[in-house]
Amino acid sequence: MTTPQPLRIGMIGYAFMGAAHSHAWRTAPRFFDLPLEPQLTAVAGRNASGVQAAARKLGWASSETDWRRLIERDDIDLIDICTPGDTHAEIAIAALDAGKHVLCEKPLANSVSEAERMTEAADAAAKNGVFSMCGFTYRRTPALSLAKRMVEQGRLGSIRHVRAQYLQDWLSDENAPMTWRLDKSKSGSGSLGDIGAHSIDAAQWVTGRKISGVSALLETFVPERPLAGDLVGLGGHGDATGNAPRAAVTVDDAAIFTARFDSGTASAGANSSSPIGVFEATRYALGRKNAMRLEVNGTKGSLAFDFEDMNVLSFYDAAEGPDAGFRRIMVTEPEHPYVGSWWPTGHGLGYEHGFTHQVVDLVNAVAERRQPEPSFADALQVQRVLAAVEASAASASRWQEV
Amino acid sequence: MTTPQPLRIGMIGYAFMGAAHSHAWRTAPRFFDLPLEPQLTAVAGRNASGVQAAARKLGWASSETDWRRLIERDDIDLIDICTPGDTHAEIAIAALDAGKHVLCEKPLANSVSEAERMTEAADAAAKNGVFSMCGFTYRRTPALSLAKRMVEQGRLGSIRHVRAQYLQDWLSDENAPMTWRLDKSKSGSGSLGDIGAHSIDAAQWVTGRKISGVSALLETFVPERPLAGDLVGLGGHGDATGNAPRAAVTVDDAAIFTARFDSGTASAGANSSSPIGVFEATRYALGRKNAMRLEVNGTKGSLAFDFEDMNVLSFYDAAEGPDAGFRRIMVTEPEHPYVGSWWPTGHGLGYEHGFTHQVVDLVNAVAERRQPEPSFADALQVQRVLAAVEASAASASRWQEV
Amino acid sequence: MTTPQPLRIGMIGYAFMGAAHSHAWRTAPRFFDLPLEPQLTAVAGRNASGVQAAARKLGWASSETDWRRLIERDDIDLIDICTPGDTHAEIAIAALDAGKHVLCEKPLANSVSEAERMTEAADAAAKNGVFSMCGFTYRRTPALSLAKRMVEQGRLGSIRHVRAQYLQDWLSDENAPMTWRLDKSKSGSGSLGDIGAHSIDAAQWVTGRKISGVSALLETFVPERPLAGDLVGLGGHGDATGNAPRAAVTVDDAAIFTARFDSGTASAGANSSSPIGVFEATRYALGRKNAMRLEVNGTKGSLAFDFEDMNVLSFYDAAEGPDAGFRRIMVTEPEHPYVGSWWPTGHGLGYEHGFTHQVVDLVNAVAERRQPEPSFADALQVQRVLAAVEASAASASRWQEV
Amino acid sequence: MTTPQPLRIGMIGYAFMGAAHSHAWRTAPRFFDLPLEPQLTAVAGRNASGVQAAARKLGWASSETDWRRLIERDDIDLIDICTPGDTHAEIAIAALDAGKHVLCEKPLANSVSEAERMTEAADAAAKNGVFSMCGFTYRRTPALSLAKRMVEQGRLGSIRHVRAQYLQDWLSDENAPMTWRLDKSKSGSGSLGDIGAHSIDAAQWVTGRKISGVSALLETFVPERPLAGDLVGLGGHGDATGNAPRAAVTVDDAAIFTARFDSGTASAGANSSSPIGVFEATRYALGRKNAMRLEVNGTKGSLAFDFEDMNVLSFYDAAEGPDAGFRRIMVTEPEHPYVGSWWPTGHGLGYEHGFTHQVVDLVNAVAERRQPEPSFADALQVQRVLAAVEASAASASRWQEV
């Protein structure tokens, strides 16, 4: 048993995503056999005392206050970008140009043009064995990963319907404070890019088909919100007083759209019609805390998933005849994706495990010098769907090809 | 205790809806105190032996082979129309003109113009104490009726989101036989009018708001189907052989659309934005048998309903704070709508009870000489939404005002 | 098509059970093809005006104030006993002796000795083509009937575990009024006989095995309750004032017991151990309205049922391997027991349908001159289990053979 | 910000529990502010290469092949016992005598006498500021912790019913291999001590009441099982061939019992009856993977929990009147126990988080020099319940005081 070579990580940003990524880097080698050993080499953030405290807390060996310095350091192999979307393009391109692998949080960028430039940089780097990946972590939830496997096994037959909802409620209170996620210049979009992007990626990935067109409606329910100190993260329970000065919300609060998927590269045949889909993303679905739901209906079977019950995948197999029914699969068996490295049957996983699995897949791909998934190109395609949604919404919901 | 005056019923059609209506007329006076006593006077159908057998089986005192004869008979007070949509206008207008009350199955008609003429006739008749009602029976499911009550009580606050799905799967098999429901000349439309109409009516009724515009997509997955004898009812399990001659399906198999609701007549105020909605109707959602679902999110609370669990209404009350959660209300308490006349707490009702409740409400309205709900005007508005959906779908999903 | 011969019914009692039975007699021939035509000939009750009103309301052609008169009438073929348990033995034996078929509500009697005498009378009558049946209607819930079918098909393999709960909460309020169901002289026992008896019958019937021994605990939480007029039916929401005089509760409020089942007459083999079971019956499980639950685990599969979701049966098939899961079968397919005579797929049934199905099965058995099930002998066996439970509870839970 | 003092851990055993504990020690300080900093100083196990590999994998700085050596080392402050139950007493007493704090996995011991000796040692050590704790981790599941809080807040009123099930199925296959958990000399008992002990502890802890007596039935369904190499952990999917030699199973496969709880130290009053309970523990409930369920019914409210949906607590509040219903609380709010240190609302936790929370509570108690819970005395009481269950089962289920 030889000690694996190190993979030295430099992470930028240390808030919600930074904590999740740090946990993943620390934890992955404890449960999985990795071909490279991740080392938490350095974390970067603008605030010196903040980043030092984060380094200590999250387990990073050193810290920097300028992300450029991180890229310059030659003891770092991979840059992990956990900052808001407006910074992704610049950082990722610089890192790739410097020969660092990149893991970039989603959405890939705040515009298609940024995403295109990032994808060009990624493609160029890949030729030199420098790889990049976008953090659509929900793919690594075992239940969704099993969903994809079942589609690939043909257990759904030809797919007809997709319904995808991502429902949260943390903005329901109109006095919940302003955050950077509501500032278009930082976040690019609102519910659409923050959570809708997850639904789009998951729907395309699980079905193996791309969205080819959309018709959309965007809505902003609360046009301005109270300022409450720093524009941190995910807001909260509307603790701001009614008297606080208010700032304009410049993003969508909710996004709803219909979609068509391409007909896939699967076998041509009598049933060649393409699937249709309904999407909804909102932070105003009172009572729904993190209901990232995906339901797929095919000619042979159906699947349903809800992240609020994340260790379960429901599957309907029409071949079972009159006694068929949606089967509540506890996705906690050793045969299920990622699960064998964790606990015995029935001992469920949590939110952060998706990040650990993401690291596992990334480290394996880097070690084997192959493209990890989702690539920047995959994420660019999601970005194009986001742009089509916005374009359709801006022109009276007219159909918009992606 | 005096015997109530009779209300003599003549019913046209005796298939699925005819059986349900007959049960309702027979059963309503056994569980509810009615001001008029329904009498099952006559049933009409074109096939003499068929209608005679139906009369015997369903409990009607006599039968006719021409619906016009039913309208001519002076021992009939109310005409109950249970035929396909292409016949509704002619029958209903004739009946109203003849001074008969009318109960007409939904959708009201196969076109807006037909529905407009019917509404004119209904309005004219109402001035003479002759009333009409359209059979959107889902309103009479106790759980949906409780939903409306809770909205009216203000327990949801201002409404932001509606998501309505009506998911069935009885056409999933591409060899399931052709039925009149797939023939546009009979049924007017497919999933849209057959089941989507229920969702539209329920969403508008529960929220107290009308849909003001839509953007839609219609899809026909299986363009032709095997002929199997009579084009009866609801098809089945695809028992037709592959060799049978096939007929063209001329309606939508699935309808999906986004919508805006009007901002209501409720209190004006800071939160004046109108609700948005997502609708889906399909008979291809494999595994969903009769999932007529409605979820409504407001500023104070949320509601969720699924007809597959029809005795339950889920309610979320944000005032409960961190320990809030969707509350699974068994809508089987004597205080709940209609329930007190049935069984003890917890002893659930079934599908047909909605029809019995419909009869109860209709008989009470007729006896009290007031307009029953939903009126033909209400149903006309639903018809206009259906037409807007079709218009939007026909022009690249562009936004269509209702 | 010939008109079937009549089966003339005389019913005794017209409260909760009387209303349910009347509905069944009226409705069965409307949905099922019966070989005999039930006629609601007469209803009996002690209060003249009450029974007359009931006859009118429930659809009976005549009424009597003495049940003996009903038995004397030669225009009655079948006596339907819907009175409290203390009257069952006398009525049933008299009816059988007079050559009337008997349908008797459960529990069969208030003691084993009464039940033995009734069974003797039933066995004697059966030799003369006069039949009797006990009203364990839950057997006729399609989902439970499907459960039995699946066990018989061997889909569970050898059974190991039974867990049966019957949870209600209508006595949770200690001020809910006294009812005859809490008076041992009327009801025989409390939760045990009222609802526990259903669980015992269902568990034995579904598994095909008899309970051979028990160890039990009975508890009375509220020893006396306010008197509120007549000791009617199912009480209510504790509307009695605190000052009302109180009467002693003389029955159990809750019954819990462990059990062994016999090893069945099935194939002998390596796995010959007998199933074990856990039972609970209570009216104090706050929030559970009519949770009649049954779960059965075998070597190949498992079943779970809850009457609060009565149109669903959950089934687990171990042969499906790692992707197995409890399958939520909507028991609304035409292939499912009783369902084909009702509505299309997915349109659920309610509580009273079990009574209609009971009538269907009874009428068919009488017409075919064969013993209907459950027989009085079957019900006597349940009575013996009830007695064993009481005996065990009375002697420090020691094991009691049935 | 000063660096906290270290708390140097020595762990014995490195299988399932060892992996879980290691993760907790590593992770706790990353998400919680701890007054002492846990250091993974050494792990002990008999197999030299095995323990060295485990140390590397799990993050321990050194390893030992004799647990006694661990206790001798003066660079260790706390001994964490993750071995089978037959070794607990010797190790724990030695550790406490040596002045080391002790965290001991459950069940505390394999007999009451061992547990008594351990408790004596613990009590003596506590006087010197050396503390001990037993690892009933389910207490640290946020939903169960919230359940306890709600009971303490009086939201359930007086408790009447407890029903506790711990259902697994990993032994359903009679060819699943023999493991040490089925060898009484190692494990003490079967389902009873392994999983039933969790139910007993949780039921007592949540309700704040002790079990005072039981009536029990134990069953062994499969009397011998194939040997498959080492008698490791949790067995599996019956992969052993039919021809392998078989060893006797010397423990219970399933344990079912009724129970009474003491009437608590709460306010005396009219409603002084003690709660009754039903318990079941089995590894043969096919389809149930880790269904650790607890339901509690009181006079004002009810709670229900199932570990298969571990981020949810269901709560019924009778004060809500007819619109009450079991409320599905997503226990993922910052106000919920332990949750604020993790992810945003709705982002669920997994099985291992309970271990992390256990470490957090233990470290805080040690730092504050107060007794952590559950103490060895608490665990001894659970052991007495286990012994009473076995005694009752051994004498025809007769009632056995604890």
pLDDT tens, residue by residue, B175-232: 999 999 999 999 999 999 999 999 999 999 999 999 999 999 999 999 999 997 654 4
Query: Does residue A340 have a pLDDT over 90?
Result: yes
Establish whether the linkage from the previous residue to D275 is cis, with ω within 30° of 0: no
A335 vs C contacts (CB less than 8 Å): 321-322
In chain A, what residues touch C346 (CB-CB under 8 Å)? none
Q: How far is CA D101 from CA B394, C135, C380, D90, in A?
A: 75, 63, 61, 14
Alpha carbon of C161: minimum distance to chain D alpha carbons (Å):
7
In which band, very low, low, confident or very high, does the pLDDT at C269 lie, cut at 50, 70 and 90?
very low
Q: B18-40 as b/e, with b when 16 or more CB fall inside 10 Å? A: bbbbbbbbbbbbbbbebebebbb
Q: Does an H or E element contain B128, and which?
A: none
pLDDT digits (tens, 9 = 90+) for D81-108: 999 999 999 999 999 999 999 999 999 9
Q: Which one, of B255, B206, B202, B235, lies nearest residue B386 by Cα?
A: B255
> Is there a contact between A346 and D27 if contact means CB atoms under 8 Å apart?
no
A contact chains, 3+ CB pairs < 8 A: B, C, D
- Among D323, D322, D266, D337, residue whose Cα is nearest residue D298: D266
* C-beta atoms of B297 and A278 within 8 A: no
Q: What was the pLDDT predicted at A270?
A: 39
The helix or strand, by DSSP H or E, that contains position A189, with its residue range, turns out to be none
Q: What is the pLDDT of residue B321?
A: 96
- B396 and A398 within 8 Å at the Cβ level: the answer is yes
Q: Give burial (CB, 10 Å; 0-12/13-18/19+) of C148.
A: middle
Within 8 A of D255 by CB-CB distance, chain C residues are none
Per-residue model confidence as pLDDT tens digits over A310-323: 999 999 999 999 99
Which of B398, B19, B387 shows the shortest CA–CA distance to B196?
B387
DSSP assignment letter at D192: I
Residue C231 has pLDDT above 70, yes or no: no
Smallest CA–CA distance, residue A278 to chain C, in Å, is: 23
Asked if C63 contacts C55 with a C-beta cutoff of 8 angstroms, the reply is yes
CB contacts of B321 in chain D (<8 Å) are 335
Q: Is pLDDT above 50 for D271?
A: no
Mean pLDDT for the stretch of residues B319-334:
97
Q: Any idea which of A390-394, C64-68, D260-264, D315-319 has the lowest mean pLDDT?
A: D260-264
8 Å CB contact of A327 and C322: no
Residue B114 and residue B91 in contact, taking contact as beta carbons nearer than 8 Å: no
Helix (H) or strand (E) holding C396: none
Cα–Cα dist A391/A386, whole Å: 9
For residue B121, pLDDT over 60 is answered with yes
pLDDT tens, position by position, B255-277: 999 999 998 654 444 345 699 99
Contact criterion met (CB below 8 Å) for D130 and D371: no
Q: Residues A105-146: pLDDT tens digits?
A: 999 999 999 999 999 999 999 999 999 999 999 999 999 999
- D362 pLDDT tier (thresholds 50, 70, 90): very high
Residues of B with Cβ-Cβ distance to A160 under 8 angstroms: 221, 254, 284
Strands (E) located in C224-352 = 224-226, 246-248, 254-261, 276-282, 291-298, 301-306, 312-317, 326-330
User: How far is Cα C227 from Cα A390, in angstroms, rounded to an integer?
Assistant: 68
Query: Measured in Å, how far apart are chain C's first and last C-alpha atoms?
Result: 50
Q: What is the residue-averaged pLDDT of chain C?
A: 94
Chain C closest-CA separation from residue D167 CA (Å): 11
What confidence category does residue C271 fall into, taking pLDDT thresholds of 50, 70 and 90? Answer: very low
Question: B217 vs A161: CB contact, 8 Å cut-off?
Answer: no
Answer whether D286 sits within 8 Å of C302, measured CB to CB: yes
Q: C322–A330: do the CB atoms touch at under 8 Å?
A: no
Predicted pLDDT of residue B240: 53
Alpha-carbon span B167 to A296, nearest angstrom: 12
Nearest CB to A309; choose among D1, D57, D309: D309
Mean pLDDT of A281-288: 98
Residues D402, D387: Cα–Cα separation, whole Å: 8
Q: d(Cα C253, Cα C176) in Å, to the nearest integer? A: 13
For the record, the structure tokens of D200 come out as 């007993």
Note whether C195 and C166 are within 8 A (CB). Answer: yes
Residues 6+ apart with CB under 8 A from A376: A92, A104, A108, A115, A118, A119, A121, A122, A123, A132, A133, A134
* Of the listed ranges A105-114, B235-244, B334-343, C147-156, the one predicted with least confidence: B235-244
Give the integer Cα–Cα distance in Å for B333 and B342.
10
Helix (H) or strand (E) holding D299: none
pLDDT at B231: 47
**pLDDT for residue C243:** 74
| Strand stretches in A21-106, DSSP E | 36-44, 62-64, 78-81, 101-104
- What are the tens digits of pLDDT across the range A175-206? 999 999 999 999 999 999 999 999 999 999 99
Name the helix (H) or strand (E) containing C369: none
How far is A113 from chain D, CA to nearest CA, in Å? 31
- Select from A19, A308, A343 the Cβ nearest to the Cβ of D351: A343
**C271–D174: do the CB atoms touch at under 8 Å?**
yes
pLDDT for the residue numbered C263:
83
Condensed to tens digits (0 to 9), the pLDDT of residues D28-46 reads: 999 999 999 999 999 999 9
Q: What pLDDT, on the 0 to 100 scale, is given for residue D243?
A: 74
Q: Which of B296, B280, D346, B302 is nearest to A292 (CA)?
A: D346
Of D57, D344, D350, the CB nearest to A348: D350
What count of Cα atoms within 13 Å lies in the side-chain half-sphere of residue A220?
A: 14
Cβ neighbors of A229 (< 8 A, separation 6 or more) are none
* Alpha-carbon B321 to chain mean position: 37
pLDDT in tens, D140-169: 999 999 999 999 999 999 999 999 999 999
B335 with D329: Cβ contact below 8 A? no
Q: Given a cut of 50, is residue D323 above it in pLDDT?
A: yes
Q: Count of CB atoms within 10 A of residue D153's CB?
A: 10
- Tell me the chain C residues in contact with residue A329 when contact means C-beta distances shorter than 8 Å: 323-325
Please judge whether D297 and C318 are an interchain contact, meaning their C-beta atoms are less than 8 angstroms apart: no
B48/chain C closest Cα distance in angstroms: 15
Domain boundaries of chain D, sorted by first residue: 5-138, 141-349
Torsion of CA C197, C200, C206, C212, to 10 degrees: -150
The pLDDT of residue D244 is 80
**Biggest CA pair distance of chain B:** 65
3-class secondary-structure state, position A389: helix
Percent of chain D with pLDDT over 90: 91
Six token digits for residue C388: 């064993």
Selection from A86, C261, A298 nearest residue B169 by Cα: A298
C interface mutation test: which of D150, D278, D392 has the most C CBs within 10 A? D278
Q: What is the pLDDT of residue A112?
A: 97
Q: What is the DSSP string of B278-347?
A: EEEEES--TT-SSEEEEEEEESSEEEEEEGGGTTEEEEEEGGGGGG--EEEEES-STTSTTGGGS-STT-
Compute the distance between CA of residue A78 and CA of residue A10 in angstroms, rounded to an integer.
Answer: 6
**Chain D residue whose CA is closest to A20:** D343
Average per-residue pLDDT for chain A: 94
DSSP letter for each residue of A297-334: EESSEEEEEEGGGTTEEEEEEGGGGGG--EEEEES-ST
Within 8 A of B216 by CB-CB distance, chain A residues are 258
> Does D20 sit within 8 Å of A330, measured CB to CB?
no
Measure the CA–CA gap between D178 and D183, rounded to whole angstroms: 8
| Token digits of residue D315 | 């709560």
Residue D137: closest CA among D384, D320, D374: D374
- Residue C333 · residue C342 · CB < 8 Å: no
Residue B291 binned pLDDT confidence (cut-offs 50, 70, 90)? very high
d(CA C388, CA C112): 10
**Residue C68 contacts by C-beta under 8 Å, 6 or more apart in sequence?**
C94
**The pLDDT value given to residue C3:** 78
Phi then psi for residue A65, to 5 deg, are: -105, 0
* Spatial distance between the Cα atoms of D255 and D276, rounded to a whole number of angstroms: 17
Interface list for chain A against chain C, based on CB atoms closer than 8 Å: 146, 150, 312-315, 320-330, 333-336
Instruction: Find the angle CA(D30)-CA(D35)-CA(D38) to the nearest 5 degrees.
Output: 55
Q: Tell me how close the Cα of B330 comes to any Cα of chain A, in angstroms.
A: 19
Residues 6+ away with beta carbon under 8 Å from D128? D99
- pLDDT at position A392 is 98
Statement: residue B243 has pLDDT above 80: no
d(CA B49, CA B58): 14
Q: Which of D322, D326, D328 minimises the CB distance to B333?
A: D322
Contact C297 D285 (CB under 8 A): yes
Rounded CA-CA distance B28/B22 in Å is 10
Superfamily (CATH H level) for A5-138: NAD(P)-binding Rossmann-like Domain (3.40.50.720)
Q: Nearest CA to CA, how far is C320 from chain D (Å)?
A: 11
> What does pLDDT average to over chain B?
94
Residue keyed to tokens 């009451």? D112
pLDDT digits (tens, 9 = 90+) for D43-77: 999 999 999 999 999 999 999 999 999 999 999 99
Q: Which residues of A163-194 are buried (b: 16+ CB within 10 A; e: fewer)?
A: bbbbbbbbbbbbbbbbbbbbbbebbbbbbbbb
Looking at beta carbons, which residues of chain A come within 8 Å of C315? 323, 325
Predicted pLDDT at B270: 39
Residue pair A302/C308 in contact by the 8 Å Cβ criterion: no
Is D172 within 8 Å of C318 when comparing Cβ atoms? yes
| pTM of model > 0.90 | yes
User: Chains meeting B at 3+ CB pairs closer than 8 A?
Assistant: A, C, D
Interfacial residues of C (vs A; Cβ cutoff 8 Å): 146, 150, 312, 314-315, 320-330, 333-336
Percent of chain B beyond pLDDT 70?
94
Which chain C residue lies closest to A312 (C-alpha atoms)?
A: C325
Q: Taking the CA of residue A289 as centre, how many other CA atoms within 13 Å lie in the half-sphere pointing to its CB? A: 29
Share of chain A above pLDDT 70, in %: 94
Query: What is the homologous superfamily of the domain C141-349 according to CATH?
Result: Dihydrodipicolinate Reductase; domain 2 (3.30.360.10)
H-assigned helices in B193-290? 197-207
Task: Give the DSSP letter of residue A119.
Answer: H
Q: Do B326 and D328 touch (CB under 8 A)?
A: yes
Write out chain C residues lying below 8 Å of D397, CB-based. Answer: 215, 258, 392, 397-399
Q: Do the domains C141-349 and C5-138 match in fold?
A: no
Query: Which of A286, A311, A339 has the highest number of chain D CBs within 10 A, making it the mutation to test binding with D?
Result: A311
C-alpha–C-alpha distance, residues D302 and D158, integer Å: 10
Q: Distance (Å) from the C-alpha of residue A399 to the closest C-alpha of chain B? A: 5
Task: Report the pLDDT averaged over residues B317-345.
Answer: 97
At residue B252, the pLDDT reads: 96
